[in-house]
Amino acid sequence: MFNKVRVRFAPSPTGGLHLGGVRTVLFNYLFAKKYGGDFIVRIEDTDQARFVAGAEKYIFNCLDWCGLVPDESVLHGGPYAPYRQSERKESYRQYAEQLVKDDNAYYAFDTPAELEAMREKLKAEGSNSLQYDHRIRMSMNNSLRLSPAETSALIESGTPYVIRIKVTPGEMLPFTDMIRGDMEFDTNNVDDKVLLKADGMPTYHLAVVVDDYLMKISHAFRGEEWLPSAPVHVLLWKYLFGLDEMPQWAHLPLILKPDGNGKLSKRDGDRLGFPVYAMDWADPITHDITKGFKELGFLPEAFLNLLAVLGWNDGTEQEIFSLDELVDKFSIERVHKGGAKFDFEKAKWFNHEWIKKLDVENYEQRVKEIFESNGITNIDDVYLHQVMGLIKERCTLLPDFYTQGLLFFQSPASYDEASVRPKWNDGKKEYFSDIIGQFENLATWEATVIEDTFKLLATQKNIKAGELQMILRVMLVGNKTGPAVFVIAETIGKTATIKRIENALAIFS
RNA sequence: GGCGCGUUGGUCAAGGGGUUAAGACGCCUCCCUUUCACGGAGGAAUCACGGGUUCGAAUCCCGUACGUGCUACCA
């Protein structure tokens, strides 16, 4: 066991960063910070066919937005560089060859067509296992069956080959998972996985084990989908470095689709109208953009919060947690075993709560950008700040500040006449003509003063103040929504208030 | 098909032999406000099924069902 807690997040840059990925990073981060350990980000780019240019940079952008800063990574440096697997290629081969030497692995020359034929044959025979394993390896084209001379002849002639692990059947492999407790795997069901590919790149199986050892990883968190291949990793540790050095594992539950069945995927987001990626992901080839939580108007605090409580809770009724609180309260034992369906409605609720909780200073720059992208420029920062304070409790997503706040920047484009017409008459018309004059004469323009003036005239004219108030609201806002009407009047100012009443009067009369 | 993992309201979930089975989201009603929202008070809705073990099971055991994952020279 290593002395210091060292955890790692190891994404493969093949596209956007989805919810499950961010949650894995988050749990890694919380665990590392809780125990004063190191949080390492290593890039798993051994699959050149699926590697996507720009994806690595994108991943770091997402981490940056979330505030999950690595202690060691490609970007941040560290004592165990390089942190990109493609740059560690040679060291993997060395370990693979060592395994062969120790008779724990072997060379295999089977072509893809031969492998396919093998599976077809097994299927035809009604076998319930289509794996390349102890049952069939002696009938395949590998160094186990071939003589040493035949093997070296093939290698020297440049025949492509892979290195496969040699799994000894009939063994029970014990294994402890931090979330699931003690488990056991029967090696009879474990196949001879490829460790080193024909192109010289390692597969994930070899690379994680070697890197975890070399980078002194003490705890490893990954998705539940890795559970079936855990015995391969345990075996590799046993063969290469000894089980005592193996990190402790935690297999995280999956995040599932809200409807139907299955793991949440990018397609579900498109189909159901919510994001599954942390930030906008632009496909470099098709240029399709997949929406991200950030761009949709989520706060990073809310995003992290909702992810943390998907599959974990601290046992109390608390649901809103800051990152610091999470570091303090996180415990791996309280992570669930079962997958959780993602609920976008609840996700929005978290954002709403965080918008209310945080001072607007934390996000006013982003809101300003939203206004500007909608053509509202020359915004006064102090005024925007004031407006945001007035409407924050009715905003769920950041763009709501635009829809809710536009009335403070522009006169209504249209009016809810259906609400006004039934109440409209000459008395009301006269009232509003008169109120303009009274407003003009007010020395102080404050909500309470405006309200008093407004109600006094109503009493004098013997008109119900409530009805007038509704009409005033439609005059100023265009519809029956928004904060307290006299506060709106105060905020937009005397001139604008009078102007808007005059505009509306012209239309209603 | 084989193997693994899981299963408390629609969703997230607490609870790990004796509880009126918490709480949250969403939904509904009411109050506040002559608006919407916030806030407050209520409501409907749950232990997958079948067997055990036990005085007693949502909790322990077995089976079944269902869900989900893996079964690539992908991670």
Q: Is strand B within 7 Å of residue A254 (CB)?
A: yes
Work out the average pLDDT over A75-89: 95
Please check whether residue A96 is in contact with residue A202, taking contact to mean a CB–CB distance below 8 angstroms.
yes
Convert the pLDDT of each residue in A473-502 to its tens digit.
999 999 999 999 999 999 999 999 999 999
Q: Is strand B within 7 Å of residue A200 (CB)?
A: no
Q: Is strand B within 7 Å of residue A310 (CB)?
A: yes
Question: What's the whole-model pTM score?
Answer: 0.95
Convert the pLDDT of each residue in A345-400 to its tens digit.
999 999 999 999 999 999 999 999 999 999 999 999 999 999 999 999 999 999 99
Q: Following DSSP, what letter does each residue of A305-352 receive, concatenated?
A: HHHHTSSB--SSS-----HHHHHHH--GGGB-SS-EE--HHHHHHHHH
Of the two residues A125 and A350, the one the predictor is more confident about is: A350
Q: Which nucleotides of B are covered by protein (CB under 7 A)?
A: 1-8, 10-15, 22-26, 33-38, 67-75
Question: Using the CA of A482, which nucleotide's C1' is the nearest one?
Answer: B36
Distance A147 CA to B11 C1' (A): 60
Per-residue pLDDT at A438 exceeds 90: yes
Query: Which residues of A are known catalytic residues?
Result: 266
Hunting for tokens 């609180």 — which residue is that? A325
Please check whether residue A144 is in contact with residue A168, taking contact to mean a CB–CB distance below 8 angstroms.
no
pLDDT score recorded for residue A1: 45
Distance CA A210, CA A241 (A): 9
Q: Is strand B within 7 Å of residue A271 (CB)?
A: no
Please check whether residue A497 is in contact with residue A451, taking contact to mean a CB–CB distance below 8 angstroms.
no
Residues 6+ apart with CB under 8 A from A497: A439, A450, A476, A489
Convert the pLDDT of each residue in A15-35 to its tens digit.
999 999 999 999 999 999 999
Q: Is strand B within 7 Å of residue A130 (CB)?
A: yes
Distance A376 CA to B48 C1' (A): 55
Q: Is strand B within 7 Å of residue A129 (CB)?
A: yes
Three-state SS for A18? Answer: strand
Three-state SS for A180? Answer: coil
pLDDT score recorded for residue A260: 64
Distance A20 CA to B2 C1' (A): 28
pLDDT score recorded for residue A128: 82
Per-residue pLDDT at A433 exceeds 70: yes
* Residue A125's pLDDT band (cuts 50, 70, 90): confident
Per-residue pLDDT at A59 exceeds 50: yes
Distance CA A451, CA A438 (A): 12
Q: Is strand B within 7 Å of residue A447 (CB)?
A: no
Per-residue pLDDT at A443 exceeds 60: yes
What percent helix, strand, coil does chain A show, rounded to 5? 50, 10, 35
Beta strand A289-290 with A248-252: parallel, antiparallel or unpaired? unpaired
**Two structure tokens written together for A447:** 């909500």
Convert the pLDDT of each residue in A180-214 to its tens digit.
998 889 999 999 999 999 999 999 999 999 999 99
Work out the average pLDDT over A327-340: 94
Distance A147 CA to B1 C1' (A): 35
**N-to-C CA span, chain A:** 83
Question: Using the CA of A477, which nucleotide's C1' is the nearest one?
Answer: B35
Q: Which of A120-124, A257-261, A416-420 has the lowest mean pLDDT?
A: A257-261
* Residue A137's pLDDT band (cuts 50, 70, 90): very high
pLDDT score recorded for residue A235: 96
Average pLDDT, chain A: 94
Work out the average pLDDT over A63-89: 96
Per-residue pLDDT at A79 exceeds 60: yes
Per-residue pLDDT at A50 exceeds 70: yes
Distance A247 CA to B6 C1' (A): 24
pLDDT score recorded for residue A509: 81
Per-residue pLDDT at A266 exceeds 90: no
